[in-house]
Every structure is written in structure tokens, then in C-alpha cells.
């Protein structure tokens, strides 16, 4: 419900033990309210299983893992130093999940 004077949202308040809707501009609905107010708390849905973390969304490149000698790895870049320096390339082995850096 909105205030007929200023258009703001009317909020339910207790006035002499009765629930009425009032506005910050001073408008008071008085006894004209035929609306019932109720509060309810909705339960949050469990969405933790919605995202499968085992699926890699990173791009794949040809790179040899130092640990298991597998030839493919996922990669991403992060600007770890100053802006005038090149970004650091991180690689993650497709097979054993070992992570290493490539500074070239």
C-alpha cells in the first residue's frame, strides 16, 4: 500500500494496541484498514548441490606437468605484480590437479 499524500510505502505500526499503516510524512490510515498483516519466514532452499565443482571451465593448453608428466593442463592468468609487468600464468594439470606457475 502507498501513501495517498506523498506516494511513499505505508508501513504497519502499532497505535494504541491496534495495527494501522503510517507514513513518514504523517499520514495515518486510522480505522480505514481492512487488511490483515501476517509475518512468515520462508525456508531457504538448499542450492549447494546445484554447482558441480568437478567440472573444469578453464581453457585447456599443451603443457607438461612436472609431477606426473601429463601433457595437458588448464590455465588462467593473474596480475600478481605491477601493471607494467606481464601477468603470471597459472597451470593446473588435467590428470593429477598439480598447480604451478609459468613466468614466460
What is the set of active-site residues? Answer: 84-85
d(CA 92, CA 58): 10
Handedness of CA 91, 71, 104, 58 (dihedral sign): negative
Radius of gyration of the chain (CA): 30
Is the separation of the CB atoms in 78 and 90 below 8 Å?
A: yes
How many Å separate Cα 68 from the centre of its chain? 36
Helix (H) or strand (E) holding 36: none
Amino acid at each position: 500500500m502507498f501513501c495517498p499524500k506523498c506516494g511513499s510505502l505505508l508501513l504497519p505500526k502499532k497505535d494504541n494496541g491496534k495495527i494501522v499503516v503510517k507514513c513518514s510524512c504523517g499520514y495515518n490510515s486510522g480505522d480505514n484498514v481492512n487488511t490483515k498483516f501476517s509475518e512468515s519466514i520462508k525456508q531457504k532452499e538448499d542450492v549447494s548441490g546445484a554447482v558441480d565443482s568437478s567440472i573444469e571451465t578453464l581453457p585447456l593448453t599443451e603443457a607438461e606437468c612436472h609431477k606426473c608428466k601429463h601433457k595437458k593442463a588448464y590455465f588462467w592468468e593473474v596480475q600478481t605484480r605491477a601493471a607494467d609487468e606481464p601477468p603470471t600464468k597459472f597451470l593446473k594439470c588435467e590428470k593429477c590437479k598439480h598447480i604451478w606457475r609459468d613466468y614466460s
